[in-house]
Every structure is written in structure tokens, then in C-alpha cells.
């Protein structure tokens, strides 16, 4: 990204398995002019002198000159950033897979730079190449970069008839992904394994999720998944069935949870504090509302805290943060929220602590089931305003030889804004 007449010292080049043959004229020029070239080992092995019309001796000299420029990017990735920044002021190229800003390295790099210091020259992403091989409309596919993320993140996207393009770290991850898809009830799904797309070693093979996969799947690899099967898909509306969650009875039941999520009104990128998280159901559904959302659960009971984290992993939102201990004591350990849900541990001390800590504008929803907590919310409503609701539900149940209504404990819900 160039600012005015300043020439950026860093060029991020999108790099594919075709090596130098797939480069644009601008990318070739930047690479030829570079004093230093950074790249992963698999990128650097594809790097050859760019000119094709020299003698064999001259090509050998160019190849030797090229090797003096090369810097292999270390693992873990973050270790390479100081090395890159140390070359500031020289003409530097960084090789990044495909499109550096679509599940690529670009964002991590430019966060350390000023806009005028860098430019990017992308190549087709692996997603684009995979869609082109399969004839899939890319705009209709779900694209997931899971090479460094838990594969359980595929769970919310398992809906029959959907097409997923998933980047994974290697052959072992393909087998793990297939096993997960089968375990969630979608064994009829078709997996197309695409290796080294765009290069001379490109290979495309198709398997069923339940099949035994070959042991020669090589990185870089993508999986195209056509979802099929009778497994329980996660609905898009709030209020998952209770049996999606492992719990000990301490769970906000489905109908109340749906109304509570509607009151909390999650928006993209917002953070929730879920106090008395129990099974984690409210926080998990908050996270399912949008992949950029964040949630922190506070739970006094160690077993429930562990259970909430487990539920989050199983439902594909492993980034739920669970803080074990007294909420009043742990609130200051978390970044400020956009919304707060109180499902357990409601007390005058908790409400007063929240009023001291929270910035103005934070949405708060509290549910009460005991007479004591109802009285507390009634008092707080009079003092702080907002809405006070009484939610009563009854379900049909056997009554002798007939049926009647069996009432659940009523829920008193307070909705307010700090």
C-alpha cells in the first residue's frame, strides 16, 4: 500500500505451487530487484532464476546469487517478524501463499508496519484454485482456514447440501476432519482432497467421509466437503435444543435461552460476559451468532467451568474463555463487554460491582427464579429502570389417562442498560 511518492521497502508476493512460472510481471520485477527474500521452506524450494534466455553458466551464477538473498521463515511464525523488521530499509520480498490477506500471513505482517512501508501483489488463493478445479461457485462456498485452528470449527457449518472449502495442515488433519464429520452424523459427505494446486505435483482425489483415507496425502492440502447425512445440523436461530449441551441440569432451557439471546441482541464483533455460565449455553450461542464475537464465562464451580469449555469445543466455538472463581473477584480480569448476562450468582454485591466497572451503554440481562432473587431484581428495576418481565412456560404432560399443562418455575427477567 503506497503512500504518495514513497517507495515501500517490503513487497508481499502471493506465491503458488507453480513457483516463478505463475508470477505476474510486477511480481517478477519485485523479486528480481529484491535484496532479501523471505519465505517458508516449501516456497523457497520453488524459487529459481527468473530469466530463461541465459547460458547454463550464467544461470548457475544467478542461482548462486539468489541463494545469498534467501531467508527461511522460522517456526513458530511470530519468530520471523523481528527478522523481517530488521531488514527495514532494504528491498525485501516476502513470499506468502496465494492471497496474503485471505487466511494468509499478510495481516500479521502489516500490523507492525506503516501503510507506506509495504505493498502486496496477490496470486489466486487456494480457495479460488479449488473452486476452479471443481466448478463450484466460490461465492456460495463456506471457506475455512483451519491449518492452525481446531478442526472442530467446522461443526457449525455442517448442513446437508452445503459446500465447504477447508485449508488444513496435512494428511493427518484430513483424516481427523473426516472422522469428525462422521462422528457428527454426516458420514455420507464427500471429501475431495486437493494437493499442491497449481503445481506440477497437483493431485485431486475424492473419498467418502467414512472411507479409509490413503496415508500419502501431502501438504499443502485443501479439502472440499459436500455435506450429506442425517446428523443434527445447528439451526441459525437462537435456542438450540438442550441436548446439544452436556449439562448437570444447570442450563438455561431452550425457550428461555432463545428469549434471553433476543434480549442480549448480539452484533458482529461484540463481547459478552456470561456470569454463572453453567453449561456455557448462553455464551456459546452468542459466539455462534457471528464468528467475530467474543465471550467470557464466569463460573464458581470447577466441573461446570470445564464442562462449558468442552461444550464450546464440541460446537465449534473453542474461543470461549472461561474464568473459574467468584465473578465479583474475577470481573476486572476481563476486557470490558458490550453485553452482560447474569444466569447465576445474582446478588446486590454483583450488581453494584457491575455498575462500578462497566462503561455506559452496556446491555444487561439477568434471569431470576427464586423469591429472593426476584425481589432483588424488582428493587434494582425501580432503581435503575429498564424492563422487568415474568416469563411463564407450561408443557403438555400426562395427567392420569389424559393430558394437562405442567408448569415450569417462572422466570423473572430484567433487561437494562448501564
pLDDT value at position 63? 52
The sign of the torsion formed by the CA atoms of 97, 102, 108, 113 equals positive
Could you give the angle at the alpha carbon of 20 between the alpha carbons of 19 and 25, nearest 5°?
A: 140
pLDDT value at position 56? 52
Please name the residue that has the C-alpha cell 434471569: 367
For CATH 3.40.1010.10, the residue range(s) in the chain are 10-47+65-123
Please spell the DSSP secondary structure of 312-331, one letter per residue.
HHHTT-TT-EEEES-HHHHG
The sign of the torsion formed by the CA atoms of 339, 342, 348, 349 equals negative
The Cα–Cα gap between 253 and 332 comes to 29
**Per-residue H/E/C for 139-188:** HHCEEEECCCCCHHHHHHHCCCCCEEEEEECCHHHHHHHHHHHHHCCCCC
Helix (H, G, I), strand (E, B) or coil at 223: strand
Tell me the C-alpha to C-alpha distance, in Å, between residue 69 and each of 23, 26, 98: 19, 19, 22
The Cα–Cα gap between 320 and 346 comes to 22
pLDDT value at position 46? 78
In 221-370, alpha helices (H): 254-264, 281-289, 302-314, 327-330, 348-357
Contact 66, 47 (CB under 8 A): yes
For CATH 3.30.950.10, the residue range(s) in the chain are 127-227
Contact 161, 141 (CB under 8 A): no
For CATH 3.40.50.150, the residue range(s) in the chain are 242-417
Please name the residue that has the C-alpha cell 424488582: 378
Give the architecture-level CATH label for domain 242-417.
3-Layer(aba) Sandwich (3.40)
Contacts 24+ apart (CB under 8 A), 250-255: 250/278, 250/279, 250/304, 250/344, 251/278, 251/279, 251/281, 252/278, 252/281, 252/282, 252/343, 252/367, 253/408, 255/393
pLDDT value at position 249? 86
The Cα–Cα gap between 172 and 320 comes to 26
Please spell the DSSP secondary structure of 13-30, one letter per residue.
EEE-TTGGGG--HHHHHH
Q: Going residue by residue through the chain (418 aa), what tens digit of pLDDT does each one get?
A: 445 457 899 999 998 888 888 888 999 999 889 999 999 988 888 776 554 454 454 344 445 566 778 999 999 999 999 999 999 999 999 999 899 999 889 999 999 999 999 999 999 999 999 999 999 999 999 999 998 899 999 999 999 999 999 999 999 999 999 999 999 999 999 999 999 998 888 999 999 999 999 999 988 899 999 999 999 999 999 999 999 999 998 888 999 999 999 999 999 999 999 999 999 999 999 999 999 999 999 999 999 999 999 999 999 999 999 999 999 999 988 999 999 999 999 999 999 999 999 999 999 999 999 999 999 999 999 999 999 999 999 999 999 999 999 998 899 999 999 9
CATH of domain 127-227: 3.30.950.10
Contact 121, 24 (CB under 8 A): yes
pLDDT value at position 62? 44
pLDDT value at position 48? 65
For 405, other C-beta atoms within 10 Å of its C-beta total 10
Please spell the DSSP secondary structure of 370-407, one letter per residue.
SHHHHHHHHHHHHHH-SEEEEE--EEEEEETTEEEEEE
Q: Which three cell numbers stand for residue 123?
A: 496470486
pLDDT value at position 251? 87
The Cα–Cα gap between 384 and 394 comes to 31
CATH of domain 10-47+65-123: 3.40.1010.10
The Cα–Cα gap between 14 and 119 comes to 11
Looking at the DSSP assignment, which residues form a beta bridge with residue 195? 203, 221
Closest CA to 393 of 377, 381, 411: 411
Amino acid at each position: 500500500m503506497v503512500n504518495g511518492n514513497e517507495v515501500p521497502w517490503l513487497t508481499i508476493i502471493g506465491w503458488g505451487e507453480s513457483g516463478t512460472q505463475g508470477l505476474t510481471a510486477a511480481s517478477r520485477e519485485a523479486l528480481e530487484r529484491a535484496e532479501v527474500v523471505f519465505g517458508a521452506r516449501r516456497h523457497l524450494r520453488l524459487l529459481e532464476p527468473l530469466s530463461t534466455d541465459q547460458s547454463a553458466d550464467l544461470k548457475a551464477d544467478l542461482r548462486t546469487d539468489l541463494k545469498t538473498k534467501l531467508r527461511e521463515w522460522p517456526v513458530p511464525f511470530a519468530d520471523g517478524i523481528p527478522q523481517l523488521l530488521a531488514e527495514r530499509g532494504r528491498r525485501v520480498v516476502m513470499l506468502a501463499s496465494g492471497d496474503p490477506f485471505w487466511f494468509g500471513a499478510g495481516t500479521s505482517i502489516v500490523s507492525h508496519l506503516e501503510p507506506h512501508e509495504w505493498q502486496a501483489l496477490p496470486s489466486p488463493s487456494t480457495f479460488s484454485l479449488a473452486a476452479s478445479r471443481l466448478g463450484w461457485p466460490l461465492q456460495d462456498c463456506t471457506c475455512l482456514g483451519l491449518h492452525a485452528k481446531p478442526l472442530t470449527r467446522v461443526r457449525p457449518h455442517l448442513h446437508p447440501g452445503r459446500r465447504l472449502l477447508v485449508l488444513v495442515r496435512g494428511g493427518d488433519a484430513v483424516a481427523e476432519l473426516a472422522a469428525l464429520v462422521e462422528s457428527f452424523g454426516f458420514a455420507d459427505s464427500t471429501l475431495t482432497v486437493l494437493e499442491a494446486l497449481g503445481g506440477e505435483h497437483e493431485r485431486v482425489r475424492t473419498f467418502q467421509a467414512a472411507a479409509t483415507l490413503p496415508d500419502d496425502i501431502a501438504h499443502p492440502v485443501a479439502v472440499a466437503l459436500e455435506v450429506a447425512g442425517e446428523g443434527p445440523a445447528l439451526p441459525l436461530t437462537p435456542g438450540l435444543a438442550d441436548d446439544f449441551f452436556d449439562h448437570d441440569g444447570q442450563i438455561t432451557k431452550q425457550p428461555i435461552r432463545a428469549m434471553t439471546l433476543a434480549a442480549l441482541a448480539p452484533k458482529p464483533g461484540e463481547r459478552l460476559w456470561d456470569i454463572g455460565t453453567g453449561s456455557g449455553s448462553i455464551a456459546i450461542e452468542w459466539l455462534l451468532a457471528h464468528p467475530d464475537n467474543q465471550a467470557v464465562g464466569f463460573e464458581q464451580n470447577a466441573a461446570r467451568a470445564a464442562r462449558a469449555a468442552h461444550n464450546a469445543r464440541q460446537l465449534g466455538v473453542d474461543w470461549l474463555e472461561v474464568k473459574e472463581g467468584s465473578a465479583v473477584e474475577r470481573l476486572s480480569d476481563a476486557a470490558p463487554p458490550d453485553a452482560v448476562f447474569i444466569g447465576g450468582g445474582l446478588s446486590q454485591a454483583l450488581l453494584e460491582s457491575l455498575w462500578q466497572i462497566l462503561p455506559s451503554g452496556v446491555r444487561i440481562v439477568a434471569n431470576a427464579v427464586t423469591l429472593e432473587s426476584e425481589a432483588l431484581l424488582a428493587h434494582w428495576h425501580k432503581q435503575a429502570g429498564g424492563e422487568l418481565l415474568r416469563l411463564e412456560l407450561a408443557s403438555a404432560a400426562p395427567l392420569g389417562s389424559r393430558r394437562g399443562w405442567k408448569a415450569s418455575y417462572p422466570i423473572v427477567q430484567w433487561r437494562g442498560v448501564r
